[in-house]
Amino acid sequence: MKKNIKLPRVLCVDDEVRVLHSIERSLRDKLDLTLVTSAADALTALRETPEPFQVIVSDMRMPDMNGINLLTQVRREFPDVVRALLTGHGDLEIVARAVNEGNIFRFLAKPCSMGEILDAVRACVRQHSLVSAERVLLEETLKGSIDAMSEILALSSPTLFGRGTRVKTLAELMCTEAGIHIDWQMQVAAQLSQIGRITLPDTIATKLATGEPLTAQESGMVERVPQVTYNIISHIPRLDEVLMTIQFMDKNFDGTGSPRGKISGDDIPIASRVLKLANRIEELQGRGYSVRRVLDSLRVETGAYDPRLLKAYEAIADVAEDKAGPRGMLMHEMRIGMVMVEPVRSQAGVMLVAAGQEVSESLLRRIQNYHDTVGIVLPLWVRPAMVDDDEASDPALEHQLTN
């Protein structure tokens, strides 16, 4: 029995119907053809056809949009589709524009035979196969590397891994509210942005969690965390945008902050602006701040954040905490008012606190006592305190209980 051979899918665009008919008669047995008479119809076919095209062949002179403009648009929306231009006006200027603007792979000058068209399409198909194979290989390599780093972070520091996951969720919520496109680079940057924090001593991590002031030396170590993260991730190829995002994550919207330079405002990569705000929100929520207190803290940090993103967070602040999920915390990060979402157990497996209990002063002392003597299973999985700031517990007391 003859096997069904899948023919290359090719989109042909020409406002002259007779040309399309000629192509169909000559090449329909060799190619899976879709024929349209306008650039608008071509874009519709590309956007709405479930199975993607491998090649598009477009005429140059068309009434609604010329071939160069069409193929330039195709390049932006469908970069994997290999592009060829067919024209009777083969001057050098058109060729140069076609190559530079539309990144044309093949250029055919009319009149040309069906054999020449078929040869050009076959070359385009081979190019598509090569590019697709390279992309799949790179994506699998990248995904494997990123998954491996994330798994190492999850095993070595569940707290930092959970922080990265929540920052990623918060970034996605803010971007959706602000109408900002969320690409995979931003997601990867959010997930891996915490890696450098592994290098911080426990004493500094404790101070960051509780909001205690840092010495000049300690501040310098914290300021170097993004560079440490950058150095670790830089060993993975094709993560240029992720590295750029991480490099500018500490840059203030008004241009102050690290790295030094004149870049400010919208010139700062949007992913960096998003993650700067998301990381700060996560830090404040980790201290047990209520939604209102987080918002008040952000507003007084004048010039630090993109106003559009602040507005987006204000709109979703009340629901963001629930969607971000529980936090895995160390003992020094626990606060009165937090709610346990999983039982607290001693190292011997004895349940000390049931899931659903709110952390009171006496309960916090009980957990601390077990932590200091027989030991408890860490991290502690909680929801942050949701009390109003007027009812919030004394931070000094909490710090005394957990230190």
pLDDT, mean of residues 297-305: 93
pLDDT, mean of residues 333-362: 83
Asked if 278 and 167 count as a contact pair (C-beta separation under 8 A), the reply is: yes
CB neighbours of 159 closer than 8 A, spacing ≥ 6?
328, 329, 330, 333, 379
- What pLDDT score does 164 carry? 79
What is the per-residue pLDDT across 193-223, written as a single tens digit (0 to 9) for each?
878 888 888 778 777 766 678 898 988 888 8
E strands within 38-81?
Answer: 55-59
Of the chain, the percentage scoring pLDDT greater than 70 comes to 86
Measured CA to CA, the distance from residue 26 to residue 116 in angstroms comes to 12
- What pLDDT score does 175 carry? 93
CB neighbours of 342 closer than 8 A, spacing ≥ 6?
326, 355, 380, 381
Most confident of 35-39, 91-95, 127-131: 35-39
What is the per-residue pLDDT across 278-298, written as a single tens digit (0 to 9) for each?
999 988 887 778 788 899 999
- What pLDDT score does 2 carry? 45
CB neighbours of 18 closer than 8 A, spacing ≥ 6?
none
β-strand partners of 34: 11
Instruction: Give the residue among 276, 251, 255 at the shortest CA–CA distance from 264.
Output: 255
Measured CA to CA, the distance from residue 98 to residue 108 in angstroms comes to 11
Taken in order 212, 218, 223, 228, the sign of the CA dihedral is negative
Measured CA to CA, the distance from residue 196 to residue 227 in angstroms comes to 8
Burial class (CB in 10 A: 0-12, 13-18, 19+), 344: buried
Most confident of 52-56, 201-205, 227-231: 52-56
Asked if 281 and 292 count as a contact pair (C-beta separation under 8 A), the reply is: no
- What pLDDT score does 104 carry? 83
Give Cα separations from 263 to 36, 134, 256, 266 (angstroms). 46, 35, 9, 9
- What pLDDT score does 158 carry? 65
Measured CA to CA, the distance from residue 366 to residue 360 in angstroms comes to 10
Mean per-residue pLDDT over the chain, rounded: 82
**Two structure tokens written together for 128:** 């598509």
**Number of Cα atoms under 13 Å in the Cβ half of residue 380:** 32
Q: What is the DSSP string of 253-266?
A: TTS-BSSPSS--GG
More confident residue, 240 or 307: 307
Measured CA to CA, the distance from residue 256 to residue 262 in angstroms comes to 8
**Is the pLDDT reported for residue 139 higher than 50?**
yes
